[in-house]
Amino acid sequence: MLGTSLCTFISIIIVKNNSDGESFALFSLLQIYIGYLFTLSFLSSDSVLIRHTTITSEALFIPKNVITQLKRSYAASAIVLPCVGMLFIETPNDYSILLIIFILSSLSFGLSILLRLRAEFSHSILAINAWKIISIVIFSVVLIVNGSITKSIILTAVIASLITSLIFTLSLTYKKLVTSIKISEPTGGNEDYKETEIFKLQYTYLISFLFFAILGSFDRVLLQYRVDINTYTSYLYLVSMLIFPIGIIGNYVGYRELVFIKKGKKINITTSIVKVSSFSTILFLIYSSLLYLARDIINLEFNYKIWLAVLIVVICKVPYSILSAVVGAKGESSDLITINHFFLLTLVAACIYTYFHGNIYTSIYLVSSIWTLRVIFYYCVAKKYT
């Protein structure tokens, strides 16, 4: 995970320092779009598949009605998500290009899920991250030959990287997967179960994933309509650099706490939050100090107001990993649905405000404010179960 995150970090620096503003903006928005696809390609029916698949040493037994729901969700997302991408990404033959990226990304994402279920964790990570490594190689070759990176090169590199990544991962895993996937009887014993419980479960996952997909990107997507290209690309670059370590820490902390909870170990929520908040804050201060010292080398315009907003996100996001693990393992689905409905409405309001009135400061502080509210809500819910 650290290696693939470093690849993202390196590719951002390479493209920013060897392209014009519009090309870098395109690269950043394509990364956001692919991030959406690696989360929402199956409209969260993949989470239902993970929950209802029976795993043995020989095979994965996937219920027939879950597969049906997976197909329906995929067909719907193949129409909707490229159209959503067209709203904020300008490319030649917009829909065709974005549909190609959708197909390649979604196949890699689906492959990653199946590999994870087979406990092929290294191959699972490779399926959704190898394209980042390949794109760095392509960009490096282009710089040697051409000396700069253009929009057309970025589009070609991204698509070529996704194709190569998918083919490479399939070549390593195809035979093993094909022989291990089996179709079982419908979950719940009848087809009607699909229309009720499976849909409810899918919806619960979907609103949560949709919330985080939008929260993690709405400022970077919508500000292109509010500020000039130089301000916009400087903002994209700084925020991308600052948030780099947050996901790594958050994923590790959340996974570790979930393992403790599943093993029946009791944790003190308040103590755990104080510990991880302190640790992540110190780590962020060290990391951002190094970024500041290297700002001239990597051509980074440091902005203390944006830095402070990202610090607030760090203080909230890493402890949230603990709270989410507790609520996800022990909480009632009704609590999750109520909270997510409220925050989706809050997020819609933030998006509308950013689109019509936002600037680089109001947008990032809206993000940090929503994260703060989210942590407070989840803390109150988590206390009920610990």
Q: What is the pLDDT of residues 91-115, one digit of tens each?
A: 877 899 999 999 999 999 999 999 9
What is the reported pLDDT for 270?
83
Q: Are strands 54-55 and 60-63 parallel, antiparallel or unpaired?
A: antiparallel
What are the boundaries of each domain within the chain?
Answer: 1-195, 216-386
Mean pLDDT of the chain: 88
Q: Which residue has the higher pLDDT, 330 or 137?
A: 137
Q: Which of 154, 161, 168, 159 is nearest to 132 (CA)?
A: 161
Within its chain, how far is the Cα of 86 from the centroid? 19
Asked if pLDDT for residue 247 goes beyond 80, the answer is no
* Beta carbons of 313 and 239 less than 8 angstroms apart: no
Rounded distance, CA 170 to CA 177, Å? 9
Rounded distance, CA 258 to CA 255, Å? 5
Asked if pLDDT for residue 84 goes beyond 80, the answer is yes
Q: Which of 179-193, 224-238, 368-382 has the lowest mean pLDDT?
A: 179-193
Residues in the chain: 386
- Percent of the chain residues topping a pLDDT of 90: 59
Give the SS3 label for residue 386. coil
What is the reported pLDDT for 347?
96
91: its two tokens: 């490319």
Q: What is the pLDDT of residues 340-360, one digit of tens each?
A: 999 999 999 999 999 999 999
Asked if pLDDT for residue 161 goes beyond 80, the answer is yes
Residue 60's φ and ψ, nearest 5 degrees, are -105, 120
Average pLDDT over residues 188-203: 70
Q: Which of 24, 6, 7 is nearest to 15 (CA)?
A: 24
Q: What is the pLDDT of residues 30-83, one digit of tens each?
A: 999 999 999 999 999 998 898 888 888 888 999 888 999 999 999 999 999 999
Q: Which of 13-22, 193-202, 283-292 has the lowest mean pLDDT?
A: 193-202
pTM: 0.92
Asked if pLDDT for residue 328 goes beyond 80, the answer is no
Q: How confident is the model at residue 374 (pLDDT cuts 50, 70, 90)?
A: very high
Average pLDDT over residues 179-194: 68
